[in-house]
Structure 1
């Protein structure tokens, strides 16, 4: 901590000190400025290192079951963004969406994990109804507990598959999930089919290029490709999936959105979330 410039050291007194301005960046209360948020992933990835190495030799991938701590870590990390930017910064990317949410609409969050996004939106927009969907029974159970603690009567959660969505909706969101899926193209097609006329799809995903050479010098490049190797790509491959990986990139995302039947695709970045860009799109209707 001293040689890394985080803790200060006075050699004559042999005393250590953690400056207040440094401490402020080492806590979850710092939100997006929490510099230690990614540190727990180091140990998590180390637990599966030899299994990933074996996949290079034998093929296949490492299943989700090998990462029992991942979802909780991911929930804590994404909460930093959702709590500070989802309502006031991300939602306004869609013209008129804030007003529609105030008036009341039906929304679905695909790959909701432990359900933070619907919980934040549900608290901010009490006249709208939010459903979170995820294949993880443990994640959905935790999401339901949190909604109960918050007293959110307009938020519900269901266990389900992203390729078979229940019902139709005015708004569908998918935050940092599509690239993880075994069947991402089918999931995007399911989203398009589940949007009502005038509905909107809001997708947050990694800010990167689909072209390797354009990611040279990316400030988070090594980190993102590391995550892809040790989690996103390998878990998809373990299910015989597409294995898009973390850095599937903007070009591939836009192509797949078009192939799924979306139109009017926009791509924007926001302050407070340096890792992601946000795609907005409408369904083209029956094809």
Structure 2
């Protein structure tokens, strides 16, 4: 029998216990968000448990237990019988426009658990699980997960990092946002550059319906949304085409690259935002890689395998592999224009 190393065993058990604590926190965090407990605590704290319950219109006994779990997780602060949110905790749980607002991650984790039976079956068959067949409102969760990065970086950092693109947008450009999902990225660009015209394409009709409703609520007139696939969407002579966190999900990203190249004006730019990743597994054995590999197993790879070709790049494809795919479309120049801890921004011309 192999001799156990007690120190290594205890370290592993400690890590697993920490992971289980995080896993069982998923429904609690979502309850706190849905019932406005974080928001209310930010407004009235420091507060006793019963004070928060009354202010939020919730049952006292449930809120006392919820707060105890949150304090044990380090998600809320507890001192002298009162609970509050530190500025850092508020940034993560109670401020939707914060760059590290992570509630969407908990929503995504819940959808992944709900989707387990479908993906588990796909492990045996090798088939995919189509984006439209994923469990729950995965589309809503993913949109919310990506929102903080887009709100804080897209207009301020990512577009300015591209050669000459902001000046073109200010003057009035034609832009296609391919794989736009619920349209957040498209809407942010349309708000920032009213002289330009934007169109969002996505192959998922329900997402296009949601994007159209969102745009209408903002009263924007310089954008519209259409159902369309990356490899054959309509429209030509775009100054800028964007793909946000979707190239690796496509069944045939090489065909998409070819079509995008043909759809750009001469001298046009393709901006590709993808998950941050190194080019080897060794480079990605870290907290970010762990998050993305897990999501990729449950969402990205099944989505790609459900489409034609099913190349299944995965969320941790890495810059070299992505560059190879992009160049296959006829692009001669690809560079990393910007990055965050969670994303890399590639520019192709």
Distance 1:67 1:32 in 2: 27
Counterpart of 1:29?
A: 96
Q: CA deviation at 1:28?
A: 4.4
Of 86-95 and 47-56, more deviation after overlay is shown by 47-56
Distance 2:178 2:273 in 1: 11
The structure with higher relative contact order (CA 8 Å, sep 6+) is: 1
Q: CA deviation at 1:55?
A: 2.1
For normalisation by structure 2, the TM-score amounts to 0.75
1:42 aligns with 2:109: yes
Q: Which runs of 5+ in 2 are unaligned?
A: 1-69
Counterpart of 2:84?
A: 18
Of 70-79 and 245-254, more deviation after overlay is shown by 70-79
Write out aligned runs for 1:139-218 (5 A).
139-168=207-236, 169-216=238-285, 218=286
Distance 1:45 1:142 in 2: 21
- The answer to whether the 8 A contact 2:240-2:270 is kept is yes
Q: Which runs of 5+ in 1 are unaligned?
A: 283-287
- Change in Cα spacing, 1:194 to 1:59, as seen in structure 2 (3 Å) is same
- The answer to whether the 8 A contact 1:7-1:16 is kept is no
1:58 aligns with 2:131: no
Q: CA deviation at 1:242?
A: 1.2
Q: CA deviation at 1:248?
A: 1.2
1:243 to 312, 337, 340: 312
Of 158-167 and 18-27, more deviation after overlay is shown by 18-27
- Change in Cα spacing, 1:276 to 1:263, as seen in structure 2 (3 Å) is same
- Between Structure 1 and Structure 2, the one with more strand by share is 1
1:92 to 160, 168, 172: 160
For normalisation by structure 1, the TM-score amounts to 0.91
Q: CA deviation at 1:176?
A: 0.3
Q: CA deviation at 1:221?
A: 1.3
Counterpart of 2:337?
A: 268
* Matched pairs, number: 276
| Offset from partner CA, 1:83-138 (integer Å, 9 cap, x none) | 22211111111122111111001000000001111111111111110000001111
- Between Structure 1 and Structure 2, the one with more helix by share is 2
SS in 1 for 2:208: helix
Counterpart of 1:285?
A: none
Distance 2:235 2:278 in 1: 33
- The answer to whether the 8 A contact 2:158-2:338 is kept is no
SS in 2 for 1:162: coil
- The answer to whether the 8 A contact 1:200-1:280 is kept is yes
Counterpart of 2:146?
A: 78
Distance 1:134 1:92 in 2: 25
